[in-house]
């Protein structure tokens, strides 16, 4: 008689892999919190011992450093706290005070979350703009230009500083100009004699080297005029252009900033959150040697060494992080068709053809871009800044992404 063990053997239910992952993540978070608490206690203890024994204070931190060797501690958390502890040990050795444990924030969850949200906003904007442009293209192909204009206006309202949105408006304008050109061709076919008279008139040699349509030139000039600066903003720009002489070596950060403020006669506002994000304190060692350079260059050098920069906003000089400055850049389009187009090197395309005229136009554009980049040269990409300038051929316009300060100075050249 055989025996059957089917009913005697029980198998444990398989555990969900997701539950295991969640449990592991929870255990890791608890361990991280415990280690974080121990690190802060160690820094506090070292801070207490620093006044009586630097050696005991440093040993307390070195002992805490060994607790980070736990393989379950996340690598990013370990490296962040390792850097913090080593920085405090270095401060003890150099006789500097240890940072307050409450001010140390190596995890920076808020900053990471803000970066994630900004990245998502950029991604959402990209796909929204792409979908809308595809819709506008389809509407134009089907001949529904009015609806295309409405879609473009709504897109410009949602993203007024998006370069693609700005150029889109110019492209739609170009499409309208092409339609007008086709209408002109039809009118030429109906009025050949009138058209030939226009050609004869254009062949008359000019009295001067260059002749402009005075009325049209005045209209374009009015369109190009930008709002004037306030008296305070104008005073700040002039102060930043003055020469300064500075000489500091390992001086406190606040002392150097105060010296530049005194030399220019302008207040420099320090954003507390920006300093905390860059881990800059009022006594952070700062060095600069400046002889006969502008206050703008001196201030930018001091701030860039600390991962900071400055902007002019609300009639004041404000110190912010580089990331914050990039967010505050403004994109503007400057139409230059009347300055760079149809100005051939030998009198125009009528005599020498469109190829020579295009070559001259390219040369004109390159010279204008050089003039634009001469405004605060260190504020452009490739020279330490974030500003960009490109030329859009269909719209014959410069697309400039820069600070409000540079746009204000650029408006003087664009008039």
Mind listing the pLDDT tens digit of every residue in the chain (415 residues)?
444 434 433 444 455 555 666 777 777 778 788 888 888 888 888 888 888 888 888 888 888 888 877 777 777 778 888 888 888 888 888 888 877 766 666 555 445 556 667 777 887 888 888 888 888 888 877 877 778 878 888 888 888 777 777 777 667 666 667 777 777 777 767 776 666 666 666 666 666 555 556 676 676 666 555 555 678 878 888 888 888 888 888 888 888 888 888 888 888 888 788 778 878 888 888 888 878 888 888 888 888 888 888 877 778 888 888 777 777 777 888 877 766 665 444 444 444 455 666 777 788 888 888 888 887 787 788 777 778 888 888 777 888 888 766 776 676 554 4
Q: CB neighbours (10 Å) of residue 118?
A: 12
Beta strands 268-270; 316-321: pairing state = parallel
The pTM of the full predicted model, rounded to 2 decimals, is 0.37
Instruction: Specify whether 323 is located in the same domain as 376.
Output: no
Instruction: Specify whether 286 is located in the same domain as 344.
Output: no
Assess if residue 78 is contained within a domain: yes
Which pLDDT does position 77 carry in this prediction? Answer: 78
The closest of 329, 333, 330 to 170, measured between CA atoms, is 333
E strand or H helix at 236? helix 231-240
Number of domains making up the chain: 3
Which pLDDT does position 357 carry in this prediction? Answer: 66
Which pLDDT does position 146 carry in this prediction? Answer: 77
**CA separation for the pair 351, 21 (Å, rounded):** 76
State both tokens at 203: 């062949």
Which pLDDT does position 110 carry in this prediction? Answer: 47
Instruction: Specify whether 324 is located in the same domain as 396.
Output: no
Which pLDDT does position 81 carry in this prediction? Answer: 82
pLDDT, tens digit, 9 for 90 and up, residues 70-108:
777 777 778 888 888 888 888 888 888 877 766 666 555
Chain position carrying tokens 């959150």: 273
Which residues partner with 316 through β-bridges? 313
Query: What DSSP state is assigned to residue 106?
Result: S
**CA separation for the pair 14, 190 (Å, rounded):** 87
Cβ proximity of 124 and 154 under 8 Å: no
**Count of CA atoms in the C-beta half-sphere (13 A) of 189:** 5
Instruction: Specify whether 249 is located in the same domain as 318.
Output: yes
Tell me which of 90, 107, 124 is where a domain ends. 107
260 burial (CB, 10 Å; 0-12 / 13-18 / 19+) is buried
Which pLDDT does position 350 carry in this prediction? Answer: 45
Which pLDDT does position 7 carry in this prediction? Answer: 41
What is the domain range of residue 382? 329-415
Query: What DSSP state is assigned to residue 244?
Result: E
Which pLDDT does position 203 carry in this prediction? Answer: 64
336: Cβ–Cβ under 8 A, 6 or more apart, which residues? 365, 368, 391, 396, 397, 398
Which pLDDT does position 18 carry in this prediction? Answer: 57
Assess if residue 192 is contained within a domain: no
DSSP secondary structure, 263-304, as one string: HHT--EEE-HHHHHHTT--TT-EEEEEEEEEEHHHHHHHHHH
Q: What is the CATH number of the domain that holds 253?
A: 3.55.50.30
Chain position carrying tokens 């187009």: 341
Instruction: Specify whether 334 is located in the same domain as 411.
Output: yes
Chain position carrying tokens 């390219």: 362
Tell me which of 52, 86, 107 is where a domain ends. 107
**CA separation for the pair 307, 292 (Å, rounded):** 24
Query: What DSSP state is assigned to residue 73?
Result: S
**CA separation for the pair 392, 329 (Å, rounded):** 19
State both tokens at 202: 């254009």
The sign of the CA dihedral 18, 24, 28, 34 is positive
Cβ proximity of 48 and 68 under 8 Å: no
* pLDDT, averaged across the chain: 75
Instruction: Specify whether 261 is located in the same domain as 290.
Output: yes
């Amino acid at each position: 008689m055989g025996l059957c063990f089917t009913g005697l053997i029980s198998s444990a239910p398989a555990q969900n892999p997701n539950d295991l992952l969640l449990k592991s993540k929870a255990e890791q978070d608890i361990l991280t919190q415990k280690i974080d608490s121990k690190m802060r206690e160690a820094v506090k203890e070292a801070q207490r011992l620093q006044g009586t024994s630097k050696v005991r204070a440093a040993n307390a931190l070195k002992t805490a450093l060994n607790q980070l060797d736990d393989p379950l501690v996340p690598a990013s958390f370990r490296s962040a706290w390792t850097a913090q502890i080593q920085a405090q040990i270095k401060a003890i050795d150099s006789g500097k005070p240890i940072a307050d444990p409450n001010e140390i924030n190596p995890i920076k969850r808020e900053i990471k979350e803000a970066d994630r949200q900004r990245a998502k906003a950029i991604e959402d904007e990209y796909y929204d703009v792409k979908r809308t442009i595809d819709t506008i293209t389809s509407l134009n192909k089907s001949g529904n230009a009015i609806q295309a204009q409405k879609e473009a206006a709504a897109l410009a309202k949602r993203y007024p500083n998006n370069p693609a949105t700005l150029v889109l408006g110019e492209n739609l304008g170009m499409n309208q100009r092409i339609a007008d050109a086709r209408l002109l061709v039809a009118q030429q076919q109906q009025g050949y004699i009138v058209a030939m008279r226009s050609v004869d008139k254009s062949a008359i040699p000019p009295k001067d080297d260059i002749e402009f349509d005075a009325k049209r030139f005045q209209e374009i000039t009015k369109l190009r005029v930008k709002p004037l600066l306030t008296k305070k903003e104008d005073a700040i720009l002039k102060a930043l252009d003055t020469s300064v002489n500075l000489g500091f070596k390992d001086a406190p950060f606040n002392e150097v900033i105060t010296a530049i403020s005194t030399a220019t006669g302008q207040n420099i506002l320090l954003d507390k959150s920006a300093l905390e994000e860059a881990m800059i304190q009022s006594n952070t060692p700062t060095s600069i040697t400046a002889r006969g350079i502008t206050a703008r260059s001196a201030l930018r050098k001091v701030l860039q060494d600390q991962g900071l920069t400055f902007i002019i906003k609300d009639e004041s000089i404000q110190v912010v992080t580089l990331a914050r400055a990039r967010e505050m850049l403004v994109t503007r389009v400057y139409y230059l068709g009347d300055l760079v187009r149809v100005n051939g090197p030998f009198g125009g395309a009528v005599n020498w053809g469109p190829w020579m005229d295009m070559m001259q136009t390219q040369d004109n554009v390159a010279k204008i871009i050089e003039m634009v980049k001469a405004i605060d040269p260190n504020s452009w990409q490739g020279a330490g800044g974030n500003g960009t300038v490109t030329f859009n051929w269909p719209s014959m316009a410069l697309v400039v992404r820069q600070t409000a300060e540079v746009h204000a100075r650029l408006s003087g050249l664009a008039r």
